[in-house]
Structure 1
Amino acid sequence: MQPEKKQLEILLMHYFRECYSGFPRGKLVPSESPDFILTLKSRNNLGIELTRLNPLNARLPDEMELLKNSTRKKIIETARFLFEENSSLKLFVKFLFSENKLIPEERELPVSAQLTNIIRKAVAAKHPNSFFRESFESEVLPEGLDALLIVHHPELLVSFWERSNNLGVSDDVVADIREAIYKKDEKLRHYQKRRLNYYWLLINTDRLRGIKSYNLPNKILNHNFQSRFQHVFLFDLIKSDVFQLV
């Protein structure tokens, strides 16, 4: 059995593989330093390292935000409890709550129950030994939620039910990406001891958003990032969007 962190990495790697049309064919094997090795038909080996985008300068939550997050945590925990009462299926679930429509205390339980029903219906016909993903927008979700992501991989033996952007919202997404690349570039010499032919870096983020209101995808794609990896990708999990940075 793989450790919990590696189980989640396997799920995210297969999710990225499905979303990125340019992903090369080959045998993908979990590894360490880098996280995955893809053996290509040419017999070359591609190493892929995963990391999560960390909002380094995220502002500290005020009292109101702490209260909102506490409510959201209770909603998620209740929905998970209700779902797992009748299902042994392990899921990776991300909840993107609205910043404009807050959920009052009296709606916590009804919202949890509605979310449980949505998730149950979404996975009802799915085979537990297969990879699958489902996503929902605000139109079909309880008021107060903007999006819901459900992903499953048979390697996943523990559940991950989380609030999106639970690390905080970035003050400068470009600077955070630069820092993520810099930290992994520093470790690339260690990865190169494996003598692989190519190296990719995959940066995951729950939902690409920042405190400033400019068009983040355009700003990122118009920015010139540098790296010693052959390719660097930013993967928006909620939107299933892949941005090639290098």
Structure 2
Amino acid sequence: MQEVKKQLEVLLVNYFRDCYSDFPKGKVVASESPDFVVKMKNKHKLGIELTRLNPASAVAKTEGVQALINFRDDLVADMLELFQAGSEANLFVKFMFSEKHLITPQRELMVRSKTVAAIKSAIADKADSAFFHKNLTNHDLPEGMEEVMIAHHPELKESVWERSNNLGISNNVVDDIRLAIAKKDEKLHLYRKQQLDEYWLLITTDCLRADKNINLLNKINNEEFESRFQQVFLLDLMRARVTPLIEN
């Protein structure tokens, strides 16, 4: 499991580099404490630590909600099995389901086949030797599927397909961001043992969603965060969007 985790981190740091136009030019090398070191031609070395936004106070699940989650997880597993029957590509895929158009058991087979067909079509031009990502919207997908994020990196040796926001939906995203920063700040002294020139923190999240209809991105942009990392970023995987939180 640890090996797959590191492979996903390699994919995610490449996703970040692809989405962030100011990512420094240099060779990205997998490391430990921090997770990656970017080695630049001027001998400047940048450390990047990754963490996932974890909802500390997730919305409580009713019995009906849990049954829906189980149904969706089973559907994702079935789609992976169907995909692997006709393709050897190793992909990281996240599925966001529609909350307005729920998938009934009667439509499950159709949704499964059409979604897998859309994914196969999306990766038709993928190069096995390079990073690739693509986000499908509801226009590309059968009713009941809202979005699908697809990513590939040659380091990924097995497919990981998951329901979006599988850790839960936060009650307070801003507080969870502060907690994620604080936890990594506590370990910064360990990262500094490598004596790098600069340290960045990358917080990844499947998709910024809340149980209330509020503009989370505006709320986050209006907040002031503190950290001993020189720069802190939030990467929204489903939106392929990088939000700088701290730029020292």
- TM norm structure 2: 0.97
Question: What is the 5 A alignment of 1:67-146?
Answer: 67-146=67-146
SS at match of 1:150: strand
CA contact (8 A) 1:37 1:48 kept: yes
Which residue in 1 is equivalent to 2:196?
196
Moved more, 231-240 or 138-147: 138-147
Deviation at 1:63, TM superposition (A): 1.1
Which residue in 1 is equivalent to 2:20?
20
CA contact (8 A) 2:134 2:151 kept: yes
Which residue in 2 is equivalent to 1:212?
212
Which residue in 1 is equivalent to 2:51?
51
CA contact (8 A) 1:74 1:108 kept: no
Deviations 1:140-172 (A, max 9, x none): 211111101100000000111000000000000
Gaps of 5+ in 1: none
SS at match of 1:181: helix
Deviation at 1:177, TM superposition (A): 0.1
Deviations 1:32-88 (A, max 9, x none): 000000012221110000000000000221111111111111221111111101111
Which residue in 2 is equivalent to 1:158?
158
Q: How many residues align?
A: 245
SS at match of 2:110: helix
SS at match of 1:139: coil
CA contact (8 A) 1:79 1:116 kept: yes
Which residue in 2 is equivalent to 1:241?
241
SS at match of 1:193: helix
Q: C-alpha separation between the residues in 2 aligned to 1:52 and 1:186?
A: 16
Question: What's the C-alpha RMSD, in Å, of the aligned pairs?
Answer: 1.0
Deviation at 1:127, TM superposition (A): 2.1
Q: C-alpha separation between the residues in 1 aligned to 2:38 and 2:176?
A: 27
CA contact (8 A) 1:90 1:159 kept: yes
CA contact (8 A) 2:59 2:211 kept: no
Which residue in 2 is equivalent to 1:8?
8
- TM norm structure 1: 0.97
Deviation at 1:125, TM superposition (A): 2.7
Which residue in 2 is equivalent to 1:179?
179
Q: C-alpha separation between the residues in 2 aligned to 1:43 and 1:125?
A: 36
